[in-house]
Amino acid sequence: MPELPEVEVVRRGLHRHVAGRVVAEVEVRHPRAVRRHVPGAADFAARLAGRRFEAARRRGKYLWLDLDGGAEAVIAHLGMSGQMLVRPVGAAEETHLRVRFRFADDGPELRFVDQRTFGGMAVAELVPSAGTLVPAPVAHIALDPLDPAYDPEAAVVALRRRRTELKRALLDQTVVSGIGNIYADEALWRVGLHGSRPTASLPPAEARAVLAAATEVMTEALGEGGTSFDAMYVNVNGESGYFDRSLNVYGQEGRPCRRCGAPIRRDPFMNRSSFTCPSCQPRPRTA
């Protein structure tokens, strides 16, 4: 699933190509793509015709497009395979095109393409959260490390307050948002910590270090357009990111650790996988 850097790349593209434009028509090609819009596909399309997109915004892995009037936004979650693509009018349709936005200026269309249909869109009310307005479904999500209002010390307190394993806490979007499986593994490797460390016994300095490492690795990934293990993770122009070439542990099972040479290990984790260096990141002792 795309994480913060990948979603931020898409947000920047949307803001550049869509902000300030008026929607002429919305075509919902698959009702599942707007299943989170409770009134249904027809209402989704009708409510957006004639509306102007003011800005593209993001918190964690959630994207939204503010609508004129300042009270509503179109919220989008990419799921596992969702793509927000800007295409010329008349360009060949994508096989898994789910929603098409045509604009009053007759310029390029915005298309939501989603092969697995785990993503989706909806019109949502904007509500106050952390000093700004966000769609109601996003209000419970914590600030992410790239948000200007992010408070690292508050995140340290929230992380240590959780009574769980360190990696589980990093993935908890109510503690700090935007960190997913890839960047959690990379951050933990950078600071030499194992994801099964109990957060309750984590010293503040180590909590601070792992959050700083997550910020660092996601900033670097953003600079390279995100990580593209899957051809479906693309920006609005359909281009892939390149940070997968810089990954130290994630997806590197059996390859030598770049720091010590030990073979990278893969372990099952929450129906996914965790990648660690058994030498640099020793598993904590248990009673």
Tell me the catalytic residues: 2-3, 61, 272
What string of DSSP letters covers 148-189? TT--HHHHHHHHHHS-SBHHHHHH-TTTSSS--HHHHHHHHH
Q: At what angle do helices 204-223 and 152-161 cross, to 10 degrees?
A: 120
Q: At what angle do helices 204-223 and 181-191 cross, to 10 degrees?
A: 120
Distance CA 53, CA 57 (A): 11
| Token pair for 266 | 């893969």
Q: Which residue is it, tokens 């248990």?
A: 286
Q: Which amino acid is at 180?
A: G
Q: At what angle do helices 4-18 and 204-223 cross, to 10 degrees?
A: 40
Distance CA 176, CA 65 (A): 22
Distance CA 35, CA 32 (A): 5
Q: Which amino acid is at 12?
A: R
